[in-house]
Amino acid sequence: MARPIMAKATAVWLVDNTTISFKQIADFVEMHELEVQGIADGDVAAGVKGFDPITNNQLTQEEIDTAQGDIMHRIKLKFNAAAEGEEKRRGPRYTPLSKRQDRPASIYWLVKFHPELTDGQVSKLVGTTKPTIQAIRERTHWNISNIQPIDPVALGLCKQSELDAAVQKAAAKKAASGEVMNDDERRKLVSTEQSLGGETKIPTAIEGLETFTLGDAPVEEDEDANKNFGDADSFFDLPAGDGTEQP
């Protein structure tokens, strides 16, 4: 069921001007029954001026009379033919006039620090058009030399949760496509095999050491080294002296 506009103010008016039950009013304005009772007791919505649903074309007097006579009757909004078949508007997010001048700075920040975001995601975050995003991305914007990147969250153009959700969605899409993200994107860690293109390379300084093993495994010998050192026993074949000991 559709909810009336200014629901709490409408509930205040119904409590003050009708004998409709708290349960019926609560169901109509989508509030808890105890909240409606709190309105009647003066504990809730203190200072809120009642909003007449009859004057504002939300209810008819006949609907109110029916609800007062039947405690089981569910109140329904007045049928509005103009709203029939109306769909939710789609398009860029509305940005207040006072903040529209900050949009280029936020767009620059997003395309610089989150290049994985699509133009559609950027447009949805800050409420702009794709040609503007493309111009800033390609640095062809008429004022690009004066634009400084500023976080759109700090400017109040979007929420941190919305930005995080967009970045995570872009990261998941890129991961699903099999692309390896660079360090600047910092979206996820990749294995050494992925970052090296599937081949594990060994530093030149230790290349060849992988042939050595511990324990009983054989160790390769360097024949050139053995030739340089010669026979170990030859080190002990000292030339014969005169038989006298030097002091």
Same domain flag for 102 and 151:
yes
CB 49 within 8 A of CB 55: no
Calculate mean pLDDT across residues 90-98: 59
Q: For the ranges 95-104, 125-134, 204-213, 219-228, which has the lowest average pLDDT? A: 204-213
Please, which pLDDT band fits residue 3 given cuts at 50, 70 and 90? confident
Which one of 156, 176, 196 terminates a domain?
176
Same domain flag for 79 and 25:
yes
Tell whether 190 is covered by a domain. Answer: no
Same domain flag for 21 and 74:
yes
Tell whether 218 is covered by a domain. Answer: no
Q: What's the confidence (pLDDT) of residue 175?
A: 81
Same domain flag for 79 and 111:
no
Query: pLDDT tens digits for 186-237?
Result: 443 333 334 334 444 444 444 454 444 444 545 455 555 555 555 555 555 5
Please, which pLDDT band fits residue 57 given cuts at 50, 70 and 90? confident
- Look at residue 145 and give its three-state secondary structure: helix
**Token pair of 151, please?**
């976080």
Query: pLDDT tens digits for 14-39?
Result: 999 999 999 999 999 988 989 989 98
Same domain flag for 111 and 154:
yes
Same domain flag for 143 and 168:
yes
**Token pair of 58, please?**
């939300």
How many CA atoms lie within 13 Å of 239's alpha carbon, on the beta-carbon side? 2
Tell whether 18 is covered by a domain. Answer: yes
Calculate mean pLDDT across residues 88-113: 75
DSSP 71-110: TTPPP-PPP-GGGTTPPPP-SSPP--HHHHTTHHHHHHHH
Tell whether 220 is covered by a domain. Answer: no
Same domain flag for 78 and 102:
no
CB 119 within 8 A of CB 134: yes
By residue range, what is the domain housing residue 64? Answer: 7-83
Q: Which amino acid belongs to residue 183?
A: D
**Token pair of 181, please?**
């993200």
Tell whether 59 is covered by a domain. Answer: yes
Please, which pLDDT band fits residue 92 given cuts at 50, 70 and 90? low
Calculate mean pLDDT across residues 40-51: 85
C-alpha dihedral (223, 227, 232, 237), degrees to nearest 10: 160
Same domain flag for 31 and 74:
yes
Calculate mean pLDDT across residues 100-129: 90
Q: Kindly report the number of other CB atoms within 10 A of residue 7's CB atom.
A: 14
Same domain flag for 67 and 103:
no
- The total of structural domains in the chain comes to 2
Please, which pLDDT band fits residue 1 given cuts at 50, 70 and 90? low
Q: What's the confidence (pLDDT) of residue 137?
A: 92
Rounded to the nearest integer, the mean pLDDT of the chain is: 75
Tell whether 195 is covered by a domain. Answer: no
Same domain flag for 133 and 78:
no
| pLDDT(117) > 60 | yes
Which one of 176, 192, 218 terminates a domain?
176
**Token pair of 69, please?**
């006579």
Tell whether 210 is covered by a domain. Answer: no
Q: Locate all alpha helices (DSSP H) within the chain, ordered by sequence.
A: 7-17, 22-29, 33-41, 61-69, 97-100, 103-113, 119-126, 130-137, 152-155, 160-176, 192-195, 223-229
| pLDDT(144) > 60 | yes
Same domain flag for 120 and 165:
yes
Which one of 176, 193, 208 terminates a domain?
176
